[in-house]
Amino acid sequence: MIMTIDNYKFAGKKAIVRVDFNVPLDENGVITDDTRIRGALPTLQHILNEGGALIIMSHMGKPKGKVNAKFSLSQIVDAVSKALGTKVMFAPDCAKAKEQADALKPGEVLMLENLRFYAEEEGKPVGIEKEDPAYDEAKKAMKASQKEFAKTLASYADCYVNDAFGTAHRKHASTAVIADYFDADNKMLGYLMEKEVQAVENILNNIKRPFTAIMGGSKVSTKIGIIENLMNKVDNLILCGGMTYTFAKAQGGHVGNSICEDDKLDLALDIIAQAKAKGVNLVLGTDSVCGDKFANDAKQLVCPSGAIPDGWEGLDAGPESRKAFAKAIEGAKTILWNGPAGVFEFDNFTGGSKAIAEAVAKATDEGAYSLIGGGDSVACVNKFGMADRVSYISTGGGALLEAIEGKVLPGVAAIKGE
Ligand code: AMP
């Protein structure tokens, strides 16, 4: 049986919980966005309410295996304490916290210092290049000490909960290796992880049709794995944003100064052919709002995406494209959106992304399941104030994209044994 956080009896137990408290801080160490802390609260509060004791662990930033005060989790202890409504104790060395962990009583909370102050967390050898003949040996030694590190963390608690979706695609000591030191009845996913895994499941394996996927952003190359996986699942595939111009050029168009991957023209033609062969309705932006420079105050020109004059670049989807996008979203029952349809950071070039956001919100009102994920598209729906009009906004960037590509996430596999 797979243990769940709702089944487990936390009373009198110590739970070590991997969260993603990699929150942005300003120069004074003040948290500028506490979404990640709020995201973990249901799991943490549940464990405390059930009479468990909490050991919270996380990474912050990229200290690369070295102690660095800039990335110390001590800076967020007060914020976590406030959010949880209870005192949070701090262990200044995550690998030397056994005594503090042993002393914990039900209802008490201990937060460990940044796991990435130890190179063992990520398990990559430091100070040696891959080309070095001694690299393989160093890697082997590091893997062995990573296991020891994970075992130490595991020794603090009776059970392990992983609620850090943002790092679920990494096989790190605290996200995956640690799970080997707990038997199946004593390890589980937290609420946030469960929700994320379910959201991906809805998109990949529990599809209500028609299914429309919207992929935007800057480049085809970074999205190709996902596009190919989705090609086998969707009814409508909208490809927009900077990718538009690689497709336009591949089909013989002229794209002026637009962002374009010249080494991906064949790939673009292949995607068009695959869509045709699989009966997928591929929707590409036929017209664009162009600028005479990459700036919000650029002069504007609307023209076909394959006939952009020299000196101009496509920065947003044009009116015809917006209509076509909305049509492919209308009536959809499953929707996935990743990546904006234009340079939405410039207020004068948000129209395409806004048209998509509105169509997605409308379809959701009419019963569609909509998942928005991957950094920028989340920023987009937030910018347009539509976050509460979609079904689910994923907290995971890379983890979500890898999951949608169909890859097994080590953080999930370590618990579910897949
Ligand atoms: P990605 O990280 O690949 O999802 O790309 C997101 C970025 O793509 C955003 O910062 C957008 O500004 C950018 N983007 C979208 N459309 C365009 C475009 N037509 N030209 C240049 N950048 C774009």
Write out the chain's pLDDT in tens, 418 residues.
679 999 999 999 999 999 999 998 998 889 988 888 999 999 999 999 999 999 999 999 999 999 999 999 999 999 999 999 999 999 999 999 999 999 999 999 999 999 999 999 999 998 889 899 999 999 999 999 999 999 999 999 999 999 999 999 999 999 999 999 999 999 999 999 999 999 999 999 989 999 999 999 999 998 998 999 999 999 999 999 999 999 999 999 999 999 999 999 999 999 999 999 999 999 999 999 999 999 999 999 999 999 999 999 999 999 999 999 999 999 999 999 999 999 999 999 999 999 999 999 999 999 999 999 876 888 888 889 998 999 999 988 889 988 998 899 999 999 988 6
**Three-state DSSP class for residue 90:** strand
Candidate of 301, 376, 378 to mutate for ligand 1, largest count of ligand atoms within 8 Å of Cβ: 376
**Residue 343 CA: which ligand 1 atom is closest?**
12
Ligand 1 contacts CB of residue 340 (under 6 A) = yes
Q: What is the DSSP string of 167-210?
A: GTTS--TTTTGGGGGS-GGGEEE-HHHHHHHHHHHHHHTSPPSS
Please determine whether the domains at 14-192 and 207-404 fall in the same fold group of CATH.
yes
| Tokens matching residue 341 | 């349809």
| Tokens matching residue 162 | 């992983």
Candidate of 215, 218, 348, 376 to mutate for ligand 1, largest count of ligand atoms within 8 Å of Cβ: 218
Give the burial class of 134: count Cβ atoms within 10 A of its Cβ; 0-12 exposed, 13-18 middle, 19 or more buried: exposed
Residue ranges per structural domain of the chain: 14-192, 207-404
State residue 378's pLDDT score: 83
**353: CA distance to ligand 1 center in Å?**
11
**Three-state DSSP class for residue 408:** coil
H or E element: which one contains 250?
helix 243-250
Spatial separation of the C-alpha atoms in residues 148 and 181, rounded to whole Å: 10
Ligand 1 contacts CB of residue 285 (under 6 A) = no
| Tokens matching residue 95 | 């690998």
**343: CA distance to ligand 1 center in Å?**
5
Q: Does domain 14-192 fall into CATH 3.40.50.720?
A: no
State residue 375's pLDDT score: 65
Candidate of 302, 343, 356 to mutate for ligand 1, largest count of ligand atoms within 8 Å of Cβ: 343
Question: Residues 351, 357, 361, CA angle at the centre, nearest 5°?
Answer: 145
Spatial separation of the C-alpha atoms in residues 150 and 172, rounded to whole Å: 9
**316: CA distance to ligand 1 center in Å?**
9
pTM of this prediction exceeds 0.85: yes
Nearest CA to ligand 1 atom 20: 242
**Residue 316 CA: which ligand 1 atom is closest?**
19
Q: Which residues contact 204 (CB under 8 A, 6 or more apart)?
A: 233, 403, 404, 406
**219: CA distance to ligand 1 center in Å?**
7
Spatial separation of the C-alpha atoms in residues 92 and 250, rounded to whole Å: 56
From 3.40.50.1260, 3.60.110.10, 1.10.3720.10, 1.20.1250.20, which CATH number describes the 207-404 domain? 3.40.50.1260
Residue 394, φ and ψ in degrees, nearest 5: -75, 145
**93: CA distance to ligand 1 center in Å?**
40
State residue 418's pLDDT score: 61
**218: CA distance to ligand 1 center in Å?**
4
Q: CB neighbours (10 Å) of residue 183?
A: 10
Nearest CA to ligand 1 atom 21: 242
Q: Which residues contact 296 (CB under 8 A, 6 or more apart)?
A: 346, 347, 348, 349
State residue 2's pLDDT score: 78
In our burial notation (b when 16+ CB lie closer than 10 A, e otherwise), range 135-170 reads eeeeeeebeeebbebbebbbebbbbbbbbbbbbbbb
Q: Which residues contact 177 (CB under 8 A, 6 or more apart)?
A: 123, 146, 147, 150, 171, 414
CA-to-CA separations, 37 to 80, 99, 145, 401, in angstroms, rounded: 7, 26, 30, 22
Catalytic residues: 36, 219, 375, 398
